[in-house]
């Protein structure tokens, strides 16, 4: 079985049954869609688990915009139009910036809190069922 690396995926098609550009584009589109869905679920779980300040409506709007940009990028992928890929890239940068701001905000609130109750600080408990000197710490949320 031949190994196909990244250079094979990015190279133009050649004659033969093993190289099909449309199949490569389809696999790339399916993987991108899967990653967008998984990142949306992970972001939602991250926001709800740690009670972050980003409201669910803002998350839903950002996720919907990413799905629309993904549909536009599918057209750009098959038509080989690079300009159709720009909205998805911009929205992913916006997602990274918004999550970075939320994480920095959460860390600042964590270190500047004085018995505040508007967010939940994770607590730890020691698992003493392990034998030996190593104690496992678990989150209690």
Please give the torsion angle defined by the CA atoms of residues 81, 83, 84 and 87, in that order, rounded to the nearest 10 degrees. Answer: 160
Give per-residue pLDDT as tens, 107-119: 887 788 765 555 5
126: which residues sit within 8 A by CB, 6+ positions away? Answer: 135, 136, 137
Q: Please state which of the ranges 15-19, 25-29, 49-53, 72-76 shows the lowest mean pLDDT.
A: 15-19
Which CA distances in Å does 68 have to 10, 104, 132? 25, 28, 53
Give per-residue pLDDT as tens, 41-61: 887 787 777 666 667 778 888
Q: Which two tokens stand for residue 72?
A: 């536009």
Q: Which domain holds residue 96?
A: 19-140
Q: Is residue 5 part of a domain?
A: no
53: which residues sit within 8 A by CB, 6+ positions away? Answer: 102, 105, 106
The total of structural domains in the chain comes to 1
Q: Is residue 104 part of a domain?
A: yes
């Amino acid at each position: 079985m031949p190994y196909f690396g990244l250079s094979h995926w990015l190279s133009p098609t050649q004659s033969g049954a093993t190289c099909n550009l449309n199949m490569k584009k389809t696999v790339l589109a399916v993987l991108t869609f899967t990653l967008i869905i998984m990142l949306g679920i992970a972001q939602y779980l991250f926001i709800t688990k740690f009670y972050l300040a980003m409201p669910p409506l803002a998350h839903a709007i950002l996720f919907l915009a990413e799905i629309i940009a993904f549909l536009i990028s599918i057209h750009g992928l098959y038509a080989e139009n690079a300009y159709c890929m720009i909205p998805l890239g911009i929205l992913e940068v916006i997602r990274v910036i918004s999550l970075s701001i939320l994480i920095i905000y959460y860390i600042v609130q964590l270190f500047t809190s004085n018995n505040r109750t508007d967010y939940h600080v994770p607590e730890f408990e020691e698992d003493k069922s392990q034998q030996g000197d190593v104690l496992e710490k678990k989150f209690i949320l």
